[in-house]
Amino acid sequence: MTAIVPNAPAAENRGPRTDETDLFARLEALATGLGAYRAKVIPVDNVETEVSFRDMCAKNVCGNYGKCWTCPPDVGDIETLIAKLRTFRYILVYQYVGTLEDSYDFEGMLDAGKKHSELTAAVRAECEKEAFSDRLFLCAGGCRICPVCAKKTNEPCRFPDQALASLEAYGVNVSKLAAAAGMKYINGQNTVTYFSGVLFNP
């Protein structure tokens, strides 16, 4: 049975102010201007999280379990991470859609992943300039700042202030996140779609 962590009650029962609405539009335009296929700011209360995602990570399908500082189990206890996520009011969700030659185009998938990582870095650099009271950057799949994570060579993280955890590491159900943001999780035949997010408090 899937364990759903209930949303924490909102600090204030109100919609965004006019200045926040302007901020959301600017952030969405920023992300699409940098190359995102679509971007949308939504309340964190609309983000569904699942503790069971940690069990999926433990199966180590991607090969990074225990081999990357920002992947499970080293990224931290999932319930603690979900609680941290719930301290934010909004999330900028954005997606990158890559085109593949066919469903076996592994090189195309890697290229799309690289381009999404570059997009994530660019969005992060711009959002760092915003006067948010707090922010958290989450990416697709896992951190790609270093070609080889220091975890694999038994060293401390080389760039702890820049390292990125994935949305899934924080228990986010990305397919439901896409729906909440009015986006498609799958964008047609011979495509691959990646998601990232910027959690923030204005």
At 73, the pLDDT band (50, 70, 90 cuts) reads very high
Alpha-carbon span 16 to 7, nearest angstrom: 18
Beta bridge partners of 92: 41, 198
At 62, the pLDDT band (50, 70, 90 cuts) reads confident
The predicted pLDDT at position 15 comes to: 61
At 88, the pLDDT band (50, 70, 90 cuts) reads very high
Query: Is residue 8 domain-resident?
Result: no
Q: How far apart are the first and last CA of the chain?
A: 36
The predicted pLDDT at position 53 comes to: 85
Radius of gyration of the chain (CA): 17
Query: Is residue 11 domain-resident?
Result: no
Beta bridge partners of 199: 91, 136
Query: Is residue 100 domain-resident?
Result: yes
Domain count for the chain, please give it: 1
The pair of structure tokens assigned to 10 is 């909102």
Q: Domain range holding 154?
A: 18-201
